Amino acid sequence: MSEQIERVKCLIIGSGPAGYTAAIYAARADMKPLLYTGMEPGGQLTTTTEVDNFPGYPEGIDGPAMMVDLQKQAERFGTEVRIGMVTEVNFASEKGGIHTAIVDGKTKIEAHTVIISTGATAKYLGLPSEQRLRGGGVSACAVCDGFFYRGQDVAIVGAGDTAAEEATYLANICSKVTMLVRKGEMRASKAMQHRVAQTENIEVLFNSEVDKVLGDQVVEGLRIVNNQTKEKHEIAITGLFIAIGHKPNTDIFKGQLDMDDAGYLITKAGSTYTNMPGVFASGDVQDKIYRQAITAAGTGCMAALDAERYLAEVGIVEEVIGGSY
């Protein structure tokens, strides 16, 4: 481990819309934030080819380019952005205590406040053909990318409420939605199953799995296998949506921060406060419902404001009042 120990007012862990928005607000409040990007700088949006639903980009924008813009804006106000992975944390339980983080197993950072924006990772099937076509028709977010397939035939993999909800969403804009359910029944609630069954352009294939995603540069079809009969057949589609869940990136916080059964961080209602004083959570790491770039950015703003007020309470900085943002 490095002998040098740095102390900062605000440490931000994660670099998606939540992390960079938190950095913009924290930097403008003179908190001099230090942000570590993690292993996937820019977060999930770096795997999205086109972002059309984030305010301020009337012509849409490439996901990675948008993250570069957010980083530049954060750096413009004084955020220090570093490539690195926080591998260990030790949060102080007393108000005003100093939190510590180890980066890449060697560098120690001490912080008065910590904003966690580590996000969540979408679960994929793991097929080579699926991974090759991510961004070329394979997506883990129907709400984000469904618009690009208006009037086309698509497929969705999943059996829970999220899959059912996204299937009905896609059915409103696509010609046909083929829903692949691995077992003989859906896990979704009865209400959601009924909604799927009542939607004429959704076809549900039970005991069915993706054998291969077809296409060279973009998705052109699927080879589907019935896991009971082992029979295979192909369908023509242009978009494949994976809705089998997300895994929040919270492993290093286990045992210190309160989480739900799925591993999402629990924050106090109407705030980004965790159960540890001076530690805040924003973005998909604490949001399993909306999971949008704009909602992540909103909670990033909230986390920076909460951190600033916390620092004022413990006497580290003066609170910024009014229209200074």
CB 139 within 8 A of CB 220: no
Report yes or no: 209 and 182 within 8 Å, Cβ to Cβ. yes
69, 104, 144, 174: the catalytic one is: 144
Q: How many whole angstroms separate alpha carbon 138 and alpha carbon 259? A: 30
Q: Please state, in angstroms and rounded to a whole number, the distance separating the CA atoms of residues 29 and 318.
A: 9
CA distance 147 to 98: 46
Across the chain, where does the E strand assignment appear? 5-13, 34-36, 80-82, 86-90, 99-103, 107-116, 120-122, 138-139, 153-157, 176-180, 202-205, 208-214, 221-226, 232-236, 239-242, 246-248, 279-281
Spot the catalytic one: 30, 62, 104, 145.
145
Residues 6+ apart with CB under 8 A from 70: 17, 20, 21, 24
Query: Catalytic site residue 10?
Result: no
Spatial separation of the C-alpha atoms in residues 167 and 64, rounded to whole Å: 27
What are the angstrom distances between the C-alpha of 181 and each of 114, 195, 277, 284?
41, 16, 43, 26
Q: Which residues of 22-38 are buried (b: 16+ CB within 10 A; e: fewer)?
A: bbbbbbbbebebbbbbb
Spot the catalytic one: 10, 30, 141, 161.
Answer: 141
Quick check: is 141 catalytic?
yes
- What would the DSSP string read from start to end of 102-171? EETTTEEEEEEEEEE---EEE-----HHHHHTBTTTEES-HHHHGGGGTTSEEEEE--SHHHHHHHHHHH
Give the chain's radius of gyration (CA, Å). Answer: 22
Dist. CA 305–CA 300, nearest whole Å: 9
Show the tokens assigned to 13.
């862990």
145 included as an active-site residue: yes
Residues with a known catalytic role: 141, 144-145
